[in-house]
A = this chain, B = another copy of it.
Amino acid sequence: METLRERKKQRTRDALLRAAVELFTTRGYERTTVDDIADAVDVSQRTFFRYYAGKEEAALALQELVVTRFVAAVRERPAEEAPMEALKQAVLEGWQTLNEVIEAVVPVELYLRMYRVIESTPVLLAAHLRRNMEIEEAMARVLAEREGLDVEADPRPRLAVAVFGGVMRVTERQWSTGEDFSLEAMRALTISYLEQVGPALTENWRTR
């Protein structure tokens, strides 16, 4: 059973996030001040900063929900699965249940719109990429453990994860600049691109 205090806090937290995302996706990130967000929730600016370390954190909070689930998903993949396959399955599986997770806070449509705001706002894109890097480091450790390797000694876990991350980034970008914003489109793109990585590295591009 939750205490009243905790429920109140959670409500303010959610309200701030909703207000922030709403404003970011309509007015734009740069043109939204922290005061705007705080005012929308009828809270002091200082309080906003007690819930989120900064404007950036609020803007990336939704992504964070998805990302943490992804890491957990990889951890729970069967140990006999090959590294790249485990990563792939974890993402695809993640898309499936994305709806419920997001919808608990904001409409999925808002999440997708926010995603595009991140991709198109330099400072947010930068923060997003940095976060991805942290995730990749965590994933490398997970893979290394699965395979019984030492991350510091064997570069293969980090290399594999970096490649996977690279492909995902290309996929996301392609998806976010395309016309079909459905999850199904994302899924298809992911599978297709992952299949093409190997060939793209070794094969001669002109003979195909």
Interface residues of A (CB under 8 A from B): 82-84, 122, 125-127, 129-130, 133, 147-149, 154-156, 158-160, 162-163, 165-167, 169-170, 174, 192-193, 196-202, 204-206
**Nearest chain B CB to A204 CB, angstrom units:** 7
A149 to B205, CA, bound (A): 9
Extra pairs beyond A83-B205, A125-B130 (7, CB < 8 Å)? A125-B133, A129-B130, A159-B167, A163-B167, A163-B201, A198-B198, A198-B202
Contact among B126, B148, B202, B205 for A206, CB-based, below 8 A: B148
Report which residue of A133, A147, A163, A167 has the largest number of chain B beta carbons within 10 angstroms of its beta carbon.
A163
Which 3 residue pairs across A and B have the least CB separation, nearest first?
A: A162-B166, A126-B126, A126-B130
Closest to A169 in B: B162
The closest CB in chain B to the CB of A144 belongs to: B205
Which residues of the partner chain B approach A166 to less than 8 Å between Cβ atoms?
159, 162-163, 165-166
Are A162 and B156 in contact, CB atoms less than 8 angstroms apart?
no
| CB-based contact A158/B170 at 8 Å | yes
Contact partner of A84 (CB less than 8 A), chosen from B149, B159, B162, B201, is B201
Whether B159 lies near A196 (C-beta < 8 A) is yes
A125 contact set on B, CB distance < 8 A: 130, 133
Residues of B within 8 A of A202 (CB): 198
B200 touches A156 (CB 8 A): yes
A142 to B154, CA, bound (A): 33
State A199–B159 Cα separation when bound (angstroms).
Answer: 10
Residues of B within 8 A of A133 (CB): 125, 129, 169
Contacts of A206 in B (CB 8 A): 147-148
